[in-house]
Chain A
């Protein structure tokens, strides 16, 4: 993945999470991963198109998703209902949109697809020929992983 793309995603994830969760956010070590990646339980996905092709995946376990949604809505949410899913989807949208805005300022043209959310046990995601950049984020609500797989259009 192009070096120029990395920072916008890391920064916007950090800023948005800090703002919506109103707490301390810690960034883990970035690394690359290929082949199939286990998904922790709740995964929001946003597709990218334009100069590049790829997708951004926001991955967290269920308790974390519930806690994050609770903080963002200002009320205690206990079950994985429509509201929780909509909230996590919105979070994914905010982070990706902010990153794409930053990339636009640097002269890279990306378009977004509407986010989609997947929930379930024992899921994994595989992208055949693309390696993914993993950005782990530690929050008071739990661990989130932002998984960015982008490549230049051939």
Chain B
């Protein structure tokens, strides 16, 4: 054997080297680059109609905050959008009539302007060199990013203009990517699992197999009963709890009648599901457990979303926990519930001082009818009569507290709400669910010690 390199290998090596070079040199994608909040971005040049410098936009009342107004572009009235506001990036303070850099974009038939910090140049690259976005690009939601590309030592984030601005694409963005067993189709689901378990154990005898089928049928009926009596949907959110509880239920009922026939049966089954301190102020242990999950850094402002707050006990408890942990911070809690009667009571909660646990005493003041929380705590909470399944117009939040609410939505709605949580929560934010609920799927990872069911974006 000679020590010479195999000529064939060399040829292959050369060929790949060539193709790589070809790939790098072939310019088939041009983008206009610009900066936003100190970072470099690009937009496909096919979407850019022209660039302009303009100011004094005509203000439009009641428009979304990122709409700066309208602008007369040689006779055409176009709307002007501030991308920095849209993506919550810092905006430099400018004179009211300062001239801004404007990219005039065209998406399908719409023409509009976007304001950016500064427009750089046109860069030609190869489509193949665009890399997919990485989920840790915190500033801008990943779904709006088409990819990343390196050019002349600079990294450019390429924005997907069509996705950002076309309302149609926005709708398609919300598929029920959260698989959950459909409750309405429980018998069918049971049939599905039946075949799965039969496959996994082909050697099982006929009688054994039919016993398994029976058991699955019954658990399917129990699921149906929970949904029709208490609108409790068994899904990935609470499946672990349901299995454990179902085994316990079988022991309790000693194989007699496992099925749920009325509201009372469903309540008995759900006993123990609700999180600690439901319908009452949190005790010191739970306050500490929640506080331990929150970051220890010094924060100046905290936005919290508390859907399904009920009578508001958990909201007040959380407000006090946040005041204790971050005395300097500006806390804002949007608490909502679709139960009008419960939420109506929430803003005017009154105690006799003896019944309030010790940690709350410092935040109580004496009112006309008893003790209430002081003005600073009151001012930090907005109680709203709101249905979470309608649009949730909230700014990005640092914390979502949603205990024992998801389980009472249909599985499709659970998926939708979790997707909305994913969108509204800031990169380092925390989601707290009920003690027996979990969001641990691809999009979420558990955090904390386990005393509180808490999750962060994966």
| A residues neighboring B (CB under 8 Å) | 1-4, 6, 30, 32, 34-35, 49, 53, 128-131, 133, 151-152, 154
Contact = CB atoms under 8 A, between A and B. Distances in A.
Nearest to B61: A49
Interface string B391-419: 10101000000000000000000000000
A32 B340 CA distance: 10
B44 interface: no
Interface in B326-359: 338, 340, 343-344, 346-347
A151 B395 CA distance: 13
Contacts of A133: 385
Interface of B: 61-62, 65, 338, 340, 343-344, 346-347, 382-387, 389-391, 393, 395
Contacts of A1: 384-386
B338 to A, nearest CB: 7
A131 B391 contact: yes
A3 B383 contact: yes
A152 B333 CA distance: 13
A128 B391 CA distance: 8
A130 B394 CA distance: 11
Contact of B393 (A2, A3, A130): A130
Nearest to B338: A32
A3 B373 CA distance: 17
A114 to B, nearest CB: 14
Given A3-B343, A3-B347, A34 B385 contact: no
A6 B65 contact: no
A1 B389 CA distance: 14
A151 B340 contact: no
Contact of B344 (A3, A49, A128, A129): A3
Given A32-B338, A129-B391, A130-B391, A152 B386 contact: no
A133 B390 CA distance: 12
Given A2-B382, A3-B384, A6-B385, A32 B347 contact: no
Contact of A154 (B61, B346, B382, B395): B395
A51 to B, nearest CB: 11
B387 A34 contact: yes
A151 B384 CA distance: 10
Contacts of B347: 3-4
25 contacts: A1-B385, A2-B383, A2-B384, A2-B385, A3-B343, A3-B344, A4-B347, A6-B385, A32-B338, A32-B387, A32-B390, A34-B390, A34-B391, A35-B390, A53-B62, A128-B391, A129-B391, A129-B393, A130-B391, A131-B386, A131-B387, A131-B391, A133-B385, A151-B393, A152-B382
